[in-house]
Amino acid sequence: MATQKGISYKKAGVDINAADAIKKAMAKSLETGDKRVLNRIGAFASLFDGHFPGMKHPILVLKTEEPGSKQKLAFSHDRIESVCEDMVNHLINDIAVMGAAPLSVQDCIVCGKLEKEKVARIVDGIASACRKQGCVLTGGETSEQPGVVDAGTYILTSSIVGVVEKEGIIDGSAIQEGDVVLAISSNGLHTNGYSLVRTLLKANPGLESEKVGGRRFIDALLAPHLCYYQGLKGLFGSKELHGLAHITGGGIRGNLNRVLPGHLDAKVELGKIRILPIFSFIKEKGNVSDGDMLRTFNLGVGMVAVASRKGAATMQQHLDGQGYSAYPVGEIAKGAKKVVFSGTVKW
C-alpha cells in the first residue's frame, strides 16, 4: 500500500505566513491619523466614531462597487494605482449624487496567488485615492483562492459609508417642470464599456498605440474615473439643485431616469452633447451603432445635474470654477419618468 504524503494549506496554494507578512506591510497604508477610526489593522472589524457635530439628523449612505472589466485591462498594463482610484471615485460619485460626504471605505481583494508587492500597491492606491477625497480606508478583506482564481488575476471590490443631513438628501423629488438639465463632462470612459473595448482590442491589438486626442488610445482608456465630489459639495444644501445622476452603465438615459419623478420626462438634445474624441474613435473602429454607443458609454457626460431655471447659470459657473465643464443639454417636461432624446449625436 502506497504511503500517502501529508498535505498542508501551503501545498494547497495558500501561504498563511506570506499573507501575514502582507498584512503587516499594509499597516502603513491604513494609518489614517483620523481620530474617528477607533482601532487598527488586525481587529475583526473596523470601529468608526458615528458622532457628527452640527448635524441634526445624520443619515448613513452605503454603496458597494467594483471597477468592472477595466481592472483586467489596467492590471495587464501595470496601472494598479489608477484602477484603485477608479474604484474609489466611482463609489464617492454614487453617494455624492444624494448629497452625501464620504467617510469610510472598505476593500476586498480576491486573487489566485498573493503577491506582496502588488497587494501593497493596491492597498496603498486605494488609501491614497481615499485621502484625496477626504475619507479613509479603514480595512477590508484579502482572499487568496487558488483553483478558483488564476494566479496573477486580481478582483477588486470596495464599499463606502457616507453621511448626509436628512433634510439635505438629494433624491430627485424636488425636480420640477422647466428645470434645466446640465451635463458635467467626463474625461473618458470612466469605468463602463470595457467589455466592448476589450473585444475591439482583441480583434485589433494595434489600436492600443493609435493616437486619440493627443495621446495613445490605451492611455486614454485607462484615465482614472473623475470624482465630482469636490465640485458638487459646494452646491449641497442649495434649493436650486434638484437632482443629480452619475452617468455609468446604461448611459444618460439609463441613469438620469433613475432620479426623475414619475410624472416628468427629461428632454435631452443629443446635438448639444460634447462628444469626446475617444468615443468617436471607438464608434468608428468598432462600427458601433449610435444606439449601442448611447447605451454603453457616457459619451463625455460623467454626471448630470438638474437645476432650477433661475439657478442653472450660477451652478454652471460654480462647477466651471471648480475645474469641471458644465453646460445645458436639455430640460424637464411633463411625462412619465423617461429620458427623451431629440436630434442626432455630432460625432
Structure-block grid coordinates of residue 132: 484625496
- The DSSP bridge partners found for residue 101 are 163
User: Which pTM value belongs to this model?
Assistant: 0.93
Amino acid at 174: A
* pLDDT at res. 33: 73
pLDDT band at 43 (very low <50, low <70, confident <90, very high): confident
> In terms of pLDDT, which residue wins out, 261 or 29?
261
Quick count: other Cβ atoms within 10 Å of Cβ 216?
14
Answer yes or no: is pLDDT of 28 > 70: no
Question: Residue 143 — very low, low, confident or very high, per pLDDT cuts 50/70/90?
Answer: very high
Query: What pLDDT shows up at residue 42?
Result: 78
Instruction: Examine the pLDDT at 58 and tell me if it is beyond 80.
Output: yes
Interstrand relation of 136-144 and 58-65 (parallel, antiparallel or unpaired)? unpaired
Mean pLDDT of 274-289: 98
Please state the domain extents for the chain: 16-41+54-168, 180-342
Give pLDDT, residue 240: 98
pLDDT at 117: 93
Q: What is the pLDDT of residue 331?
A: 99
H/E element, 231: helix 229-232
CB 248 within 8 A of CB 314: no
Confidence label for 26 from pLDDT (cuts 50, 70 and 90): low
> In this prediction, what percent of the chain has a pLDDT beyond 70?
96
Model confidence at 84, pLDDT cuts 50, 70, 90, reads very high
Same fold for the pair 16-41+54-168 and 180-342: no
Q: Tens digits of per-residue pLDDT, 152-194?
A: 999 999 999 999 999 999 999 999 999 999 999 999 999 999 9
Read off the pLDDT band of 3 (50, 70, 90).
low
Counting residues of the chain whose pLDDT is more than 90, the rounded percentage is 87
Can you say how many angstroms the Cα of residue 68 is from the centroid of all Cα atoms in its chain? Answer: 10
| pLDDT greater at residue 149 or residue 7 | 149
Query: Torsion angle, CA of 253/257/258/264, rounded to 10 degrees?
Result: 170
Question: So what's the pLDDT on residue 1?
Answer: 54
pLDDT, mean over the chain: 94
Q: Is the pLDDT of residue 27 over 70?
A: no
Q: How far apart are the first and last CA of the chain?
A: 74
pLDDT in tens, 89-107: 999 999 999 999 999 999 9
In the predicted model, what is the mean pLDDT of residues 321-331?
A: 98
> What's the one-letter identity of residue 289?
S
Please state, in angstroms and rounded to a whole number, the distance separating the CA atoms of residues 21 and 16.
9
Q: What digits encode the pLDDT tens for the residues 187-232? A: 999 999 999 999 999 999 999 999 999 999 999 999 999 999 999 9
pLDDT higher than 70, residue 77: yes
Beta pairing class for 154-165 and 241-246: unpaired
Domain 180-342 in CATH 3.30.565.10? The answer is: no
Mean predicted confidence (pLDDT) in 271-296: 98
Average the pLDDT over 114-118 and give the result.
93
| Grid coordinates given for 268 | 435631452
Do 267 and 180 contact (CB within 8 A), yes or no? Answer: no
Query: What distance in Å separates the CA atoms of residue 243 and residue 157, rounded to the nearest whole number?
Result: 27
CATH T-level fold of 16-41+54-168: 60s Ribosomal Protein L30; Chain: A; (3.30.1330)
Which pLDDT does position 7 carry in this prediction? 78
Residue 21 has pLDDT above 80, yes or no: no
pLDDT value of residue 15 = 74
The count of residues in the chain is 347
The residue behind cell 471648480 is 322
With bands split at pLDDT 50, 70 and 90, how would you rate the model's confidence at 29?
A: low
